[in-house]
């Protein structure tokens, strides 16, 4: 019923006539569609609905989901406070409905916003060059591995402390390239760097390490980079963008490529997407970055302006020789991240990072008092692993928390749970969570 | 226009979160030592800055946007509203299945309808964009052949008219690309195809209608040739807007397809994303689909990993909010609306082509599908005026130029795709503008190279930008 075809049937009849078509059937026949392929109808699609009815239907579906008051689960998707202005800016119809800025004269605003985003990412990561964004952190890691490969070096070493979802995507992309991946074991919650030294070789393209890692622990990224470089390989650091306000940057650690998930920068949880992968590299690797990149230049009058640049890497020019097939840069998500960083500023971002740390440390202590066991005793950012006596207790804890409108830590199996706390959690909700856990463990 | 960094004043900020109500954590992490030089602006400055940037950005709301191959149709705000519901935005992807029944239902409903439209048996919503979907679909083909002991099938056949992502995706999936020439009608040369299809063929990638806007009349023969050689057929769904509800790739001999929710299903382009590129396949390939499968168990929906799956192409299950928008759109237009959309798209393209064909040489002077290609090769030879010059001239008339220099098989190409959401009077006005720009360029060729005249920035130096890339703002220490 709702349709976005504006012309009336009468107008369409006139237009058909102007083209020399008797009717739509004649139009399709003349356009070469064989009669026998043409469908009569689409039984599996319901009849169209008015906007009001569609709205009701969608609201009904949304109501079937639980949106928790307190969220203590991260594992790659984090609930942070999103300033109102972020939604306001990114809702502007020009940004929302524009196409990729191939026509620079009509897109200076969009191009400049990407240039600013690229600058933000370089600043955060401490690297020299950034692209305009890719699909998510995991695909960014996979693309980074390909950046590091050459004819001789194709194997990728992935730390077991990297998010398993990221590792899965890296392996899937490696299947595409017929390249090998090897897991570097973890020990006590961090990458076993002694094992790394033994595993790395002349055929290693890069080492993939995450900071903070999947268990929330701080890695010695400088040492991993040093090991990689001594073996002639590259170091790819997957980093959390909020943590970069206070933790040693991949640039400072000597990484060749820094990637990560940009979702914490103003993008809501959204059941997993759309998110944003950021990619930054040192000067040497700049031309190996995949995807879109915006550069500064001047126009015919010498005015400063921006254009898509280094397009010779990309699919529309190089085709099968392109560095990647990627076309999209998750532009609206990159804009979201850039607006978030603009209004947060260095002090704001630092405040978020320190608040996350403070809350997470507080939660860990309260959970330990409640009877859960600390698993790794190491410096951590805002996530940590705790252990319950058995899986039955884990389920009971999560059920009890659920009844209190709390999303508890992610079960990892074997009684372990990965907990997270961000700046959004008031002290009271952490106290309540600990009280619930205490009660369940005491049963 | 200043960059946000040039608007910074040290000390400017806004407080968005309170001080933590718990003690600080121990300072036991290796600290960031490098200064963090993010912008320092007040919120009012940020608001004005982005308003100024929006003013210099062209959205579909700003006027006719006939970019061929991009399907710049109207993006309904009703879909935006649905995607902004807190019951969708506030859900963590790793919540238990029982707490996300609404999300899982959104996904299964969308999967069902996309399967119906494409004539496929199963759908994955995991890929984040069309190119991502291509890569995923090719991985399915690769896994299938490997499992069947046919690992020697290392070649993918791609028409020379194909979008650049096709060969790029094939390379990413570890295949060698074999180019199939187009015949003089712009369609696949079936004789050449027969020559190249053989025991080393993994598959064919094709879009139909193709990139010159024509429905390939030999489509069933083409897919049969590939099947007979033991290969599979991949359908690039970028041009689905022309045929949805009218013909189905699954009925034309295709085994795998990808769709672009941000083209055909009216989710906005966002200036370059986020999109969503679901992949559909016939039942025999379903075991290899990435990510999780949603199935019904004990009266509820749940996510299960398929053991033989090819892996994962992103961390989580889908670009979910984009899927929400597409679902809202399909529910809105419904069964008849799907067909009306395609019919309207094809009619509008033919109508605009009809208005232009006396002045603009058409690459193929036959009825088109949803888009058509003009060639300015002769104009270039005779006057030196190029497709680029005409495109820039259109900017002065308030029209976003059509796609330039694509597909590669047409010289000095301009590809226009009006879409079904444009009114007749918009098309009439656009036709007038196209005709006047051409007239003007023929009469004053030297001036054509100086267009556009009315924009703040004119003919940026792309050579300089590529030779000495400056890709971030030079921040003072």
pLDDT in tens, chain A (443 residues): 567 999 999 999 999 999 999 999 999 999 999 999 999 888 899 999 999 999 999 999 999 999 999 999 999 999 999 999 999 999 999 999 999 999 999 999 999 999 999 999 999 999 999 999 999 999 999 999 999 999 999 999 999 999 999 999 999 999 999 999 999 999 999 999 999 999 999 999 999 999 999 999 999 999 999 999 999 999 999 999 999 999 999 999 999 999 999 999 999 999 999 999 999 999 999 999 999 999 999 999 999 999 999 887 776 777 778 778 888 889 999 999 999 999 999 999 999 999 999 999 999 999 999 999 999 999 999 999 999 999 999 999 999 999 999 999 999 999 999 999 999 999 999 999 999 999 999 99
pLDDT lower than 50: segments of chain B: none
Contact A274 B321 (CB under 8 A): yes
Q: Nearest CA to A125 among A268, A331, A282?
A: A282
- Report the alpha-carbon distance of residue B12 to residue B14 in Å, rounded: 7
Q: Does A29 touch chain B (CB under 8 A)?
A: no
Bridge partners (DSSP) listed for residue A247? B31
Phi, psi (5° rounding) for residue B296? -100, 130
Sort out which chain A residues have CB atoms less than 8 A from B35's CB and list them.
346
Phi, psi (5° rounding) for residue B23? -65, 155
- Report the alpha-carbon distance of residue B212 to residue B407 in Å, rounded: 7
Sort out which chain A residues have CB atoms less than 8 A from B70's CB and list them.
99
Contact A107 B269 (CB under 8 A): no
In 10 A of CB B462, how many CB atoms? 15
Tell me the Cα Rg of chain B. 25
Three-class SS state of A304: strand
Q: CB under 8 Å to A11, separation ≥6 — which residues?
A: B424
Phi, psi (5° rounding) for residue A127? -105, 170
Q: Nearest CA to B85 among A402, A159, A63?
A: A63
Contact A218 B30 (CB under 8 A): yes
3-class secondary structure per residue, chain B: CCCCCCCCCCCCCCCCCCCCCCCCCCCCCCECCCCCCCCCCCHHHHHHHHHHHHHCCCCHHHCCCCECCCCCCCCCHHHHHHHCCHHHHCCCCCCCHHHEHHHHHHHHHHHHHHHHHHCCCEEECCCCCHHHHHHHHHHHHHHHHHHCCCCCCCEEEEECCCCCHHHHHHHHCCCEEEEECECCCCCECHHHHHHHCCCCEEEEEECCCCCCCCCCCCHHHHHHHHHHCCCEEEEEHHHHHHCCCCCCHHHCCCCEEECCCCCCCCCCCCCCCCCCCCEEECHHHHHHCCCEEEEEECCEEEEEECCCCCCCCCCCCCCHHHHHHHHHHHHHHHHHHHHHHHHHHHHHHHHHHHHHCCCCCECCCCCCCCCEEEECHHHHHHHCCCHHHHHHHHHHCCCCCCEECCCCCCCCEEEECCCCCCCHHHHHHHHHHHHHHHHHHHHCHHHHCCCCCCCCCCCCCHHHHHHCCCCCCCCCC
The H or E element containing residue A109 is helix A108-125
Q: Is residue A415 a contact partner of residue A390, using CB atoms and an 8 Å limit?
A: yes
Q: What distance in Å separates residue A197's CA from the closest CA in chain B? A: 22
Model pLDDT, residue A2? 63
Bridge partners (DSSP) listed for residue B280? B123, B257
Q: Nearest CA to B290 among B121, B126, B120?
A: B126
Q: Where are the beta strands (DSSP E) in A51-149?
A: 70-71, 129-130
Closest-CA residue of chain A to B347: A16
Sort out which chain B residues have CB atoms less than 8 A from A54's CB and list them.
78, 82, 328, 331-332
DSSP annotation string for B205-243 = EE-SS-TTS---TTHHHHHHHHHHTT-EEEEEGGGGGGT
Contact A57 B339 (CB under 8 A): no
Q: Does A183 touch chain B (CB under 8 A)?
A: no
């Amino acid at each position: 019923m709702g349709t976005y075809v504006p012309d009336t049937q009468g107008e369409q009849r006139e237009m058909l006539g102007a083209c020399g078509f008797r009717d739509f059937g004649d139009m399709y026949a003349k356009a070469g569609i064989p009669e026998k392929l043409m469908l009569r109808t689409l039984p599996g699609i319901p009849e169209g609905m008015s906007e009001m009815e569609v709205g009701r239907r969608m609201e009904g579906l949304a109501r079937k989901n639980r949106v928790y008051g307190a969220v203590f689960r991260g594992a790659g998707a984090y609930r942070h406070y999103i300033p109102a202005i972020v939604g306001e800016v990114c809702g502007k119809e020009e940004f929302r409905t524009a196409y990729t800025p191939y026509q620079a004269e009509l897109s200076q605003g969009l191009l400049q916003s990407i240039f600013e985003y690229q600058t933000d990412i370089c600043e955060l990561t401490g690297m020299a060059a950034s692209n305009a964004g890719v699909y998510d952190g995991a695909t960014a890691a996979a693309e980074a591995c390909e950046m590091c490969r050459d004819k001789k070096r194709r194997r990728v070493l992935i730390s077991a402390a990297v998010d398993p979802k990221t590792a899965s995507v890296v392996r899937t992309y490696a299947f595409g390239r017929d390249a090998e991946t090897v897991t570097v074991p973890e020990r006590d919650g961090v990458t076993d760097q002694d094992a790394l030294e033994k595993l790395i070789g002349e055929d290693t393209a890069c080492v993939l390490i995450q900071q903070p890692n999947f268990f929330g622990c701080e890695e010695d990224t400088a040492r991993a980079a040093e090991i990689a470089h001594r073996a002639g390989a590259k170091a790819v650091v997957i980093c959390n963008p909020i943590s970069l306000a206070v933790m040693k940057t991949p640039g400072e650690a000597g990484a060749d490529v820094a990637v990560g998930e940009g979702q914490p920068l103003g993008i809501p949880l959204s059941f997993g997407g759309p998110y944003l992968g950021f990619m930054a590299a040192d000067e040497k690797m700049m031309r190996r970055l995949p995807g879109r990149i915006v550069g500064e230049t001047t126009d015919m009058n010498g005015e400063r302006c921006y254009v898509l640049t280094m397009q010779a890497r990309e699919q529309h020019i190089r085709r099968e020789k392109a560095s990647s097939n990627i076309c999209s840069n998750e532009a609206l998500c990159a804009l979201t991240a850039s607006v978030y960083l603009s209004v947060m500023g260095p002090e704001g971002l630092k405040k978020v990072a320190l608040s996350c740390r403070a809350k997470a440390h507080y939660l860990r202590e309260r959970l330990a008092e409640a009877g859960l066991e600390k698993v790794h005793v190491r410096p951590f950012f805002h996530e940590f692993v705790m252990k319950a006596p058995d899986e039955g207790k884990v389920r009971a804890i999560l059920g009890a928390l659920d009844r209190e409108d709390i999303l508890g830590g992610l079960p990892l199996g074997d009684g372990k749970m990965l907990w997270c706390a961000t700046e959004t959690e008031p002290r009271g909700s952490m106290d309540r969570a600990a009280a619930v856990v205490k009660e369940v463990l005491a049963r | 226009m200043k960059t946000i960094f040039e608007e910074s004043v040290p000390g400017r900020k806004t407080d968005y979160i309170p001080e933590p109500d718990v003690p600080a954590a121990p300072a036991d992490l290796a600290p960031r030592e490098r200064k963090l030089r993010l912008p320092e602006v007040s919120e009012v400055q940020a608001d004005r800055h982005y308003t100024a940037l929006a003013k210099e950005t062209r959205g579909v709301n700003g006027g006719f946007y006939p970019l061929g191959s991009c399907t710049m149709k109207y993006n309904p705000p009703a879909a935006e509203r649905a995607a902004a519901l807190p019951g969708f935005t506030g859900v963590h992807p790793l919540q238990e299945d029982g707490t996300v029944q609404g999300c899982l239902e959104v996904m299964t409903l969308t999967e069902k309808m996309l399967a119906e439209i494409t004539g496929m048996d199963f759908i994955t919503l995991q890929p984040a964009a069309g190119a991502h979907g291509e890569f995923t679909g090719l991985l399915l083909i690769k896994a299938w052949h490997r499992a069947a002991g046919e690992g020697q099938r290392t070649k993918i056949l791609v028409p020379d008219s194909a979008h650049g992502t096709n060969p790029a995706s094939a390379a990413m999936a570890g295949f060698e690309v074999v180019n199939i020439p187009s015949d003089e009608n712009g369609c696949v040369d079936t004789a050449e195809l027969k020559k190249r299809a053989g025991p080393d063929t993994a598959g064919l990638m094709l879009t139909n209608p193709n990139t010159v806007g024509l429905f390939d009349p030999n489509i069933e023969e083409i897919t049969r040739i590939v099947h007979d050689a033991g290969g599979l057929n991949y359908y690039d769904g970028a041009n689905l807007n022309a045929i949805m509800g009218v013909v189905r790739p699954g009925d034309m001999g295709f085994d795998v397809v990808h769709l672009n929710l941000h083209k055909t299903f009216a989710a906005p382009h966002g200036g370059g994303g986020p999109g969503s590129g679901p992949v559909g396949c016939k039942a025999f390939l379903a075991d290899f689909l990435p990510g999780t499968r949603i199935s019904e168990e004990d009266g509820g929906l749940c996510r299960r990993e398929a053991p033989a799956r090819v892996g994962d192409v992103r961390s989580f299950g889908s670009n979910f909010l984009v899927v929400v928008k597409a679902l809202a759109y399909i529910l809105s237009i419904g069964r008849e609306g799907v067909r009306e959309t395609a019919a309207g798209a094809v009619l509008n393209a033919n109508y605009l082509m009809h208005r232009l064909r006396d002045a603009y040489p058409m690459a193929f002077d036959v009825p088109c599908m949803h888009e058509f290609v003009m060639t300015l090769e002769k104009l270039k030879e005779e006057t030196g005026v190029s497709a680029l010059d005409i495109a820039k001239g259109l900017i002065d008339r308030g029209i976003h130029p059509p796609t330039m220099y694509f597909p590669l098989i047409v010289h000095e190409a301009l590809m226009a795709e009006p879409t079904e959401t444009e009114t007749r009077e918009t098309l009439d006005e656009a036709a007038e503008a196209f005709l006047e720009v051409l007239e003007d360029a023929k009469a004053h060729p030297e001036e054509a190279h100086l267009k556009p005249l009315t924009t703040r920035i004119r003919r940026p130096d792309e050579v300089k930008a590529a030779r000495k890339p400056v890709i971030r703002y030079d921040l003072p220490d």
